[in-house]
Chain A
């Protein structure tokens, strides 16, 4: 069985995001970029499945400019066997990404597709679900446990009410949550090995997918700044101040 894993290049989670003054987006000048943390968890799970002898090959896929090859190399250094870049200079919306991934699925015929539950930049949480629908295969989202049983999988999902366990037929799309596993560190010699692993590049035209934008982005604004607080002497003054502001 082959496992396909998505890897998105995103602004690192440690970076303090700054909205550009014209509201057109987020400042990425000199900003550290890394693999979407949920995608790292997805890859870790795929590697563990392969190491358990339940899959033969793990392929990492990313859609983006050439810079995203850096994240694919990270995936290869973690242990993926090969990588595919869907090359595009335009930012893709989830539906276009899902359509492009579907084309890769048609070429590779994987038994399982594992994606992060969402990317930490746009927080859409849509690509996995759309991909399952386009592919017409089952989906199990927000997985915190994944057990493969031949042609099916038992997936524990993190839902609002707690945990839900479902059984799905394979092939399927699984999107993963934070508690599924803790990704491994990359070993130095593996970084060198990753440089020699195959990385194929397809353009959106090669795949025959038109880039569409069904979401129109108005503008970006930073959250309002917290105003300076005041120190109150006692509870009575606190009540007074709250009353003055019409809060109680």
Chain B
């Protein structure tokens, strides 16, 4: 192998999401001479961004004063909040918790907002490289992080070089800022190597799925923010939906299910589709057209699960560390604040040391502390969680005690001890018909002649233990139908099954890496530029 080509920067930022772009913009505002680059695996900025998204605008006011005169392409002021508890055919209006009051906030497409932020960063001479995946960390001679290595391109499924082979380069940087978002490929390696999580609880996650709809004229009420909980989830499964009414007869609709669910037969994608068929939602969407769809895991662990965010030569920012505020259902404001704070720290000290302490003393972590017991309160079921959440909210988190967080992969119960509840699921008629149809609206694309980017560490477990114990839950929790168990007479095992990985369908949500009960699925970056091509998500 030949020596890799090298590019040098002062700061390399991995991931062009709200955290990474805020960091880049702030760095150049403070020190215009710094050489700053942002590397992004999506084919264009925003292509891999998926969020609700209602955002609190204050951090954006600080980062980009005057942005309100020239707002991002999708930006609708919130006019009204509603929270509904659903039963199969009925609904009850719940009081909107104070954290979910959205007066003064905006409904945006976070994907198009990131694209808009990237233009601002480029105007400040940040080098932004969409379509390139940071596949490895580069360590310097002292064991500190010293940049990243870009994945090779033009490698076939067997690992051989194709005629188009191009070796990935090394990007050397004094400071590496990792803003990959939830459960990032490099973040998880760094957390492991530097034991950043040794003093915190495990991270816990949810899977979020979202669709953008063009509805019949008059049905969307621009600025209306609706959240639901209850049906189609049983009370033991945490989750709910969001319905954000945009302009131009568009509605963003989504569903989040806590990945600490117990039922091995649970299918989050199907739960989302069911929710769309509740009478309240169905009447909104009926006769409309789905424009785009996708999925992404989100961090829910908050305060207890926040790892150390500094290590020699690098910082973790935004949801790569886990700063989303679950009761608020928001993380963008936290990500922007954290990106700015990282930039301010780097420009002042040119070092990662001291960042974590500063972060823990900031509004970002104080906000997480206040709500720390709300998410784990729901471990005891919906209604007990709801009451505890109300108490925690009234006391603003000042009651003593902190509930522990558990790891999602450990919560799944084996099929012989768990009977799935009667979910009362209904016949569906709204698009998409199934997960393959849904992937089509994610416009996901991977060159099929490349190494499979979902690495199964012990493939025998799938066809022996897992099929018995959990009935291969990967075939259900993946929202893109990447995993299939197919009967194959050539295999030599009792089940007669073989795991087929449809890696080209992957929407990079990372759910498999998180929820797999044996922790044998390792999600790695595919060739740069592959993956979903979300529009206005």
A147 contacts chain B at the CB level, 8 A cutoff: no
- Once the chains bind, are A30 and B109 in contact (CB under 8 Å)? yes
Q: Answer whether A188 and B7 are a contact pair too, CB < 8 Å, given A14-B443, A16-B441.
A: yes
A148 contacts chain B at the CB level, 8 A cutoff: no
- Once the chains bind, are B169 and A29 in contact (CB under 8 Å)? no
B36 contacts chain A at the CB level, 8 A cutoff: no
Closest to B169 in A: A188
Contact partner, A32, options B5, B162, B289, B533, Cβ 8 Å: B533
Chain B positions within 8 Å of A209 at CB level = none
Contact partner, A192, options B44, B127, B150, Cβ 8 Å: B127
Nearest chain B CB to A237's CB is how many angstroms away?
22
Q: Answer whether A182 and B150 are a contact pair too, CB < 8 Å, given A30-B73, A188-B132.
A: no
A208 contacts chain B at the CB level, 8 A cutoff: no
Cα separation A38 to B115 with both chains bound (whole Å): 27
- Once the chains bind, are A185 and B535 in contact (CB under 8 Å)? no
- Once the chains bind, are B129 and A191 in contact (CB under 8 Å)? yes
Chain B positions within 8 Å of A189 at CB level = 5, 7, 169
Nearest chain B CB to A12's CB is how many angstroms away?
7
Nearest chain A CB to B119's CB is how many angstroms away?
12
Cα separation A184 to B445 with both chains bound (whole Å): 18
- Once the chains bind, are B127 and A15 in contact (CB under 8 Å)? no
Interface string of B214-257 (1 = CB under 8 A from A): 10000000000000000000000000000000000000000000
Nearest chain B CB to A146's CB is how many angstroms away?
17
Chain A positions within 8 Å of B214 at CB level = 21
Nearest chain B CB to A30's CB is how many angstroms away?
4
Nearest chain A CB to B291's CB is how many angstroms away?
7
Cα separation A231 to B440 with both chains bound (whole Å): 23
Q: Answer whether A15 and B536 are a contact pair too, CB < 8 Å, given A187-B169, A188-B129, A192-B127.
A: no
Nearest chain A CB to B4's CB is how many angstroms away?
11
Q: Please, how many residues of chain A have a CB less than 8 angstroms from a CB on the other chain? A: 19
- Once the chains bind, are A30 and B535 in contact (CB under 8 Å)? yes
Nearest chain B CB to A110's CB is how many angstroms away?
26
B163 contacts chain A at the CB level, 8 A cutoff: yes
Q: Answer whether A185 and B44 are a contact pair too, CB < 8 Å, given A15-B443, A30-B536.
A: no
- Once the chains bind, are A188 and B153 in contact (CB under 8 Å)? no
B507 contacts chain A at the CB level, 8 A cutoff: no
Q: Answer whether A185 and B166 are a contact pair too, CB < 8 Å, given A12-B533, A30-B535, A32-B535.
A: yes
A31 contacts chain B at the CB level, 8 A cutoff: yes
Chain A interface (Cβ within 8 Å of chain B)?
Answer: 12, 14-16, 18, 21, 29-32, 182-185, 187-189, 191-192
A-B contact pairs, 8 of them (CB 8 A): A14-B443, A14-B445, A29-B536, A30-B111, A32-B43, A188-B150, A188-B169, A192-B7
Chain B interface (Cβ within 8 Å of chain A)?
Answer: 5, 7, 43-44, 47, 73-74, 109, 111-112, 115, 127, 129, 132, 150, 153-154, 162-164, 166, 169, 171, 214, 289, 291, 440-441, 443, 445, 533, 535-536
If A14-B533, A32-B43, A183-B164 are given as contacts, then 8 extra A-B residue pairs at C-beta distance below 8 Å, sorted by A number, are A29-B536, A30-B536, A32-B533, A182-B164, A187-B169, A188-B132, A191-B129, A192-B7
